[in-house]
Structure 1
Amino acid sequence: MMRRKSVILQGLLWTTILALSLSAAPRREAGGYAGTYLRMPLSARSAALGNAVGALMETPEAFTENPALLGHLSKRHFGSSFQFLSLDRSLHMLNVTIPVPPTAGLAIAWVHAGVGNIEERNFANEMTGELQTSQDALYVGFANRIWKSLSIGVNTKIFMDQLPDVTATGFGLDVGAFYAPFDFLSLGFSVKDINSKINWNTKDIYEFGSQRTDTYPTLYQLSVALQFNHQVFITAAYRGSVDIFPTFHAGMEVHAGDHLAIRGGVDNRMPVLGLSTRYPVWGHIETRIDYAFLFGRYNEGISHAFSWIFTF
């Protein structure tokens, strides 16, 4: 048993070295790359913990950060998240996670991002209407426990981006691993957006249309979570890439009794705060409502995130 754990720890060490070496390659800002909305926190708990939930088992909707978390599900969950962002942006997610006995887990999620109230103007700068854009992703995730403390998982993703008169589609993959060597410590490693891309074709729409492919940057994420008496959780994550600058994320959650939790963190230098309430509904069904307050970055303005999750 000790020999097997030693091998696993050595593997995690080499994985960490690989991730850091990959992130040391030439990089640039992420603004020019596709899929920005999927690099944002997709739930209020994730947002309030600085988007550092890739090693936190008690957050089933975090499978979008690390699909291997699905291998440790004990109950079914249905969640809905709504984020009202600045600059007329919105971000929503619906997700269902289901344990598959004896050692597996399954998830389905729909993520929608949009921008509205875009002024449409003609060549004379006269306003002729309003436009809107949208981006959608369908997740199907699966994970299985190899040992009691180790699981691996994969997400398949289908993309659809819509601009006025133009629609593009694409496909991508995430893979992840989760390892809990001790009750108070858990580790996660995931590779997000493997060969993820979206294809545009405007030849049939515009006289001088063209074909192009937008590639999502592949991310290598290393996560850690510590818990103390199931009352205090500390999380951290490092994201590296060969394409964009690395980012650091951290958060803390403190439980005040059985029904209230207070959260705070830093999402790539942006401070975030949040809280959560949990109540029984009926029988084995309980509900949790999460809220996160995002201070914003680069003077983009504050944002709010809400999640409503049922466990049954």
Structure 2
Amino acid sequence: MRKYLSYLFTAIVVIGGVPVQTPAQNDYVLGGLAGAPTRMGFGARGIGLANAFSAVRSDEISGYYNPALVPFQPHPSVMLAVGFLPLDRKLNFASYTQSLRPSGGFSIGIINAGVSDIEGRNRDGAITETHSTSENAFLLSFGITVAEQVAVGVSAKIFYYSLFEDVRSATVGFDFGFVYSLDEQLTIAGALHDINSKYKWDTSQLYGREGNITVDRFPLRRKIALGYAPKFLSAILSGEIEWVGSTWLGRIGTEIQLHERFTLRGGVDQISFAGEIDAKPAFGFSVRAPIETMKPVLHYSYVIEPYVTGGIHMISLNLNIE
């Protein structure tokens, strides 16, 4: 037990002690920094749980929330998700996750986001053309159980952003995470997201000698999470505290299986302890089809966005291969 606690203490010190990437993050305003679509969640199940997913180690797992979770994936799992967002935005996901004997696991994933129907106008205000953006992240996560109760993991992320004609960015970032299983019911986890993540723009092809190179860094995110899955109830309770620059955020979520083929979930994301921003309530459900070979699961979630009319609808299909 003493050895396991030393693992946990070391992981917390590392996550809490990594310096913020840039001084500008001390005045962090949520949504004002690069990479916002990559911080909105991953798939309908996680988003419906208000993204309080870093310590959830049951059913479908993704390395997006915590790469140390992937060794706990019980069977190979394929996920496809599509989002319906206001303001001509798009947000789509795909992933494949499986465990590796005897103690590892890996996950690959894709995030596709962007904005369409951006109007280009001339000096008279007449529409001359339309533009769109494409913001993508490719994730490769690997996790391993280093002790009976401790797992660690790392994710490499390739970011590719096509912003405008001849204005593109291709960069690499990293995530680290740990999981400490106190018992079958209680899990403590932590993650460090977006190490070295950034967009790097070179506008010399567009503007010639007047162009320049600009770097937009992602905010460094540190999370500590707690997950509880009681034996006496088919349910999950989870919560997280996230530190982004000088901003502290919380999120809580719960999931309860009402029937062997139907699960209900909900939570609140983006809880600002200082009251700087509004929270994002979320809810959703899952339906399991009576097909034994692929065990398909349909997930749905809805997120109330505080600053736009309407919300986010997310639909995911999971295939669990046994």
Please give the TM-score of this superposition, normalised by the length of structure 2: 0.89
The 4+ residue runs of structure 1 with deviation greater than 6 A are none
Query: Unaligned 5+ residue runs, structure 2?
Result: 271-278
Task: Indicate whether 1:191 and 2:192 are aligned.
Answer: yes
Which aligned pairs between 1:89-238 and structure 2 lie closer than 5 A?
89-165=89-165, 166-207=167-208, 208-229=210-231, 231-238=234-241
Deviation at 1:290, TM superposition (A): 0.5
Give 1:18 deviation, angstroms.
Answer: 4.9
Deviation at 1:14, TM superposition (A): 4.9
**Of 198-207 and 287-296, the range deviating more from structure 2:** 198-207
Aligned match of 2:288 in 259, 278, 287? 278
Q: State how far apart, in whole Å, the 2-side matches of 1:127 and 1:14 are.
A: 54
Q: Judging changes above 3 Å, is the alpha-carbon distance between structure 1 residues 111 and 17 closer, same or farther for their aligned structure 2 residues?
A: closer
Q: Is the 8 A contact 1:171 1:198 kept in 2?
A: no
Which amino acid in structure 2 is aligned with residue 286 of structure 1? Answer: K
Which residue number in structure 2 is paired with residue 255 of structure 1?
257
Q: Secondary structure at the match of 1:204?
A: helix
Give the counterpart letter for 1:272 in structure 2.
A
Structure 1 unpaired stretches of 5+: none
Instruction: Give 1:81 deviation, angstroms.
Output: 1.2
* Aligned-partner residue type, residue 121 of structure 2: R
TM-score under structure 1 length normalisation? 0.92
How many residue pairs align between the two structures? 307
Verify the 8 A CA contact 2:264 2:286 in the aligned structure 1. Answer: yes
Partner of 2:35: 35
> In structure 1, the residue corresponding to 2:42 is in which secondary structure?
coil
2:34 & 2:256 partners in 1: Cα distance?
35
Structure 2: distance between partners of 1:280 and 1:11? 44
| Cα deviations by residue, 1:137-159 (Å, 9 ceiling, x for unpaired) | 11111111111221100000111
Which stretch of the first structure deviates more once superposed, 199-208 or 78-87?
Answer: 199-208
Task: Report the RMSD for the aligned CA atoms in angstroms.
Answer: 2.1
Distance 1:59 1:120, change over 3 A: farther
Alpha-carbon contact 1:27-1:241 (below 8 Å) kept: no
Aligned-residue offset at 1:178 = 0.7
Residue 83 of structure 2: aligned partner: 83
- Which whole-Å CA distance do the structure 1 matches of 2:158 and 2:184 have between them? 35
Deviation at 1:280, TM superposition (A): 3.9
Output the amino acid matched with 1:177.
F
Report the alpha carbon displacement of residue 5 of structure 1 after superposing the two structures with TM: 3.9
Distance in 2 of aligned mates of 1:266 and 1:127:
40
Q: 1:16 to 1:115 in 2, by over 3 A?
A: closer
- Can you list the C-alpha shifts for 1:211-249, whole angstroms capped at 9, x where unaligned? 11111111001111111225111111111023x522111
Say if 1:68 and 1:143, in contact at 8 Å, map to a contact too.
yes
The 8 Å contact of residues 54 and 63 in structure 1, kept in 2 or not, is answered as: no
The change in CA–CA distance for 1:298 and 1:59 in structure 2 (over 3 A counts) is farther
| Residues 1:108 and 1:62: Cα distance change in structure 2 (over 3 Å) | closer
- What is the aligned partner in structure 2 of residue 240 from structure 1? 243
Q: Deviation at 1:11?
A: 4.3
Which amino acid is 1:305 matched to? M
Structure 1 residues 202 and 147 mapped into 2: Cα distance closer, same or farther (>3 Å)?
Answer: same
Aligned pair in 2 of structure 1 residues 78, 12: CA closer, same or farther (>3 Å)? same
Distance in 2, Cα, partners of 1:247 & 1:34: 18
Q: SS where residue 62 of structure 1 aligns? A: coil
Between the aligned residues of both structures, percent identity stands at 26
- Measured in 1, the distance between the counterparts of 2:59 and 2:177 equals 15
Q: Distance in 2 between matches of 1:141 and 1:154?
A: 6
